[in-house]
Structure 1
Amino acid sequence: MANYVRAMNHGLERLSELPVSVRLVREIHAELMHGVRGGRLTPGELRTSQNWIGPAGCTLATASFVPPPPHELPQALADLERFLHENTGLPPLVQVGLAHAQFETIHPFLDGNGRIGRLLITFLLTEKGLLSKPVLYLSHYFKRRRAEYYERLQAVRDQGDWEGWLAFFLDGVCEVSQEATATAAAILRMREDYRTRIAEHLGRAAANGQRVMDHLFDQPIVSVATVREWLGITSAGANQIVARLTDVGLLREITGYARNRRFRFDPYLKLFEEPQEVRA
């Protein structure tokens, strides 16, 4: 999750100087895969061997889908990049939906293609001015309807059923937009709740507690050293602040280690793990 957030933030920052492009996608992949599962699989580099998609244990011959061979990737990605920036006359959401399906079909990396493809949606919507903040999180929609997601993509490849895919994609945008509105309201409620808790329980350290929470919205996984750097205080002081924020439920230790511990901004990240109920 931390790498996903870092990759998204990196991409959003880079959009001010670099358009959505193969170069940007490779940068984001390097950020996403650094030090995690699949990180050994050439982060940021296009694959140089054939991959395939299907049930566990399937072979190239029995795969559900075989993406283009490595030597075709440069041309396929160049065509996709050109499509992203040419004046197609298509509504922006339709163009983004088509681009996502094509990226997943090209499958240019050995690992992480699904995550990169979902980030690509956010970057394109931001670049086109449809989002000012990355609040449209389609991953939950795709996960909830995983079987249909893969079926719709495969129907494009097998039968050219772009209409079916676009209907599915646009339904997701509508559904997730409503959820995003509810999530934004939940974030505001959560922030005010924890501001009150910090003020009530941290006493003279409340100001530093509030500063830590403000930083956590940008970096929700932290260490004591990170907090020490944010506040410019001693290690002992940072340990005390982290302990007290853990006591009030703002942070949760996630390593189980006695040393080199890491903490997550638990109430915030939980809002993204389970979709919020849409309120009338």
Structure 2
Amino acid sequence: MTYDPNIAFNVLPALPPPEEVITTEVYRQLNRATRALGELKGAGRVIPDQSVLISMIGLQEAKLSSEIENIVTTNDELYRAFADDGNADPATKEVLRYGQALWYAYDQIKMGRPLCTSLFEEIATTIKMVDIGVRKSPGTKIMNSLREIIYTPPDGEPLIRALLYDLEKFMNDDSISELDPLIKMAITHYQFEAIHPFSDGNGRTGRILNIIYLIDKGLLEIPVLYLSKYIIENKMDYYRGLKAVTEEGKWEDWIIYMLKAVESTSIITKSKIYRIEELINDTVQQVKSQSNSIYSKDLIEVIFRRPVFKIKFVEESLSVSRPTALKYLQTLVGNNVLMEFTHGKNKYYANSNFIDLLSE
């Protein structure tokens, strides 16, 4: 039957796909991606305070993943809003909620909760801050910028829930398929996006599922692999790959695309982690040499936990008085470790070198 984008795509590809789609070239790329991901997993342990990696690299992913959905904010607005505990414009608030959804999903997986439809719904609900359940109303259409229909996802709540249940089994029950988890992640991502279970937030929910699936399977320990930058830089190939699976059942190119995304992103993130470690060590030496009287391991960790913060954050994190926190901050500003600036009525402190590194 010829594919028609105007008709609900109710017969999704069966899971797992036929064995012949896993070609020699897929396995070659799988080996490269597995090696790069393993090196990233090791790199994630080099920084003792792993909240630095989880929060800051995760915040960049929140920004880029939201950008794919045309929800755009700047790094300045994002870091300031993070310092203000979410007080920001609507777009920036939605980006921050993506970060909250990622944290929530990560915590749930670490507590042993399986990947399931109710968790997917909770992730989407956190992102959109409205109660999002599986679509009940018919008529959902995916359109391009010219308002042309390019895809009609499955219709009807019972069918959508049945497809999600099949996806849950594929993700959680390794007896159903002995495929490598990285290949299963690529297949899962397509399947979730094709089901398009929610009225909004599907893309961002799907990208969170990528990372927590890899954590669930033990390929990563902390959520530091984010594919959104690669997707933005190779956006046409991303949508072309999804389309080819839907219309022609061409899994090979799609799986290779996702494995390349894992390889490329792992290499970039590993490099960034080692550079963060180097910057932290350089900062330790700078503070010790210029202001040893205020140096403490905890102080250095605090100024890397958020790239922009207020004095209250230092007070609470170090359990010190406001005068003591102010003394620390003024000393670090004087030594060019931090930069002080005012926005509106609020005073902020910025770790400029850290911001520059994160923004690359």
Task: Determine which of 108, 114, 119 is the counterpart of 1:19.
Answer: 114
CA shift at 1:242, angstroms?
A: 4.6
| Separation in structure 2 between the aligned mates of residue 83 and residue 13 of structure 1, nearest angstrom | 22
Question: 1:59-208, aligned counterparts within 5 Å?
Answer: 62-69=148-155, 71=157, 72-87=159-174, 88-207=177-296
Give the secondary-structure state (helix, strand or coil) at the position aligned to 1:115.
Answer: helix
Shift in Å, 1:205: 2.8
Q: Is the 8 A contact 1:228 1:235 kept in 2?
A: yes
The CA distance in 2 between the partners of 1:218 and 1:190, in whole Å, is 13
Tell me the alpha carbon deviations over residues 44-83 of structure 1, each in whole angstroms, 9 at most, x when there is no partner.
Answer: 544455544333462xxx2222323352432222221111
Q: Measure how far apart 1:128 and its partner are.
A: 0.7
Query: Structure 1 residue 91: deviation in Å?
Result: 1.2
Shift of 1:147: 1.1
What SS is found at the alignment partner of 1:15?
helix
Kindly tell me: are residues 216 and 203 of structure 1, through their superposed partners in 2, closer, same or farther at Cα, counting changes over 3 Å? closer
Could you tell me whether the CA contact under 8 Å between 2:311 and 2:325 is conserved in 1? yes
Q: Among all aligned residue pairs of Structure 1 and Structure 2, give the percentage whose two residues are the same amino acid.
A: 28
8 Å Cα contact 2:132-2:199 kept in structure 1? no
Query: Amino acid of the residue matched to residue 7 of structure 1?
Result: A
Distance 2:247 2:348 in 1: 46
- Number of equivalences: 260
- Change over 3 Å in CA distance of 1:143–1:203 after alignment to 2: same
Q: Which has the larger radius of gyration?
A: 2
Aligned AA (2:283):
Y
Cα separation, partners in 2 of 1:193 and 1:153, compared to 1, 3 Å: same
**d(CA) in 2 for partners of 1:52 and 1:252?**
48
Map 1:186-265 onto structure 2 (within 5 A).
186-207=275-296, 210-215=297-302, 222-242=309-329, 245=332, 248-250=336-338, 256-259=343-346
CA apart distance, 1:187: 1.6
Change (3 A) 1:45 1:268: farther
* Residues 230, 82 of structure 1: alpha-carbon distance in 2 compared, 3 angstrom cutoff: same
Cα offsets for 1:108-166 (capped at 9, x unmatched): 33333222222211111111111123232222211110111111111111211111100
Q: For 1:11 and 1:180, locate their aligned partners in 2 and report how far apart those are by CA, in whole Å.
A: 21
- The structure with higher relative contact order (CA 8 Å, sep 6+) is 2
AA of the residue aligned to 1:23: S
CA contact (8 A) 1:252 1:266 kept: no
**SS of 2:151 mapped into structure 1:** coil
Give the superposition deviation at 1:27. 3.2
Are the equivalent residues in 2 in contact too, given 1:220–1:269 (CA < 8 A)? yes
Considering only aligned residues, what root-mean-square deviation do their CA atoms show, in Å? 3.0
Q: By how many angstroms is 1:90 displaced?
A: 0.9
Contact persistence 1:28–1:44 (CA under 8 A): no
Tell me, what secondary structure is at the counterpart of 2:344? Answer: coil
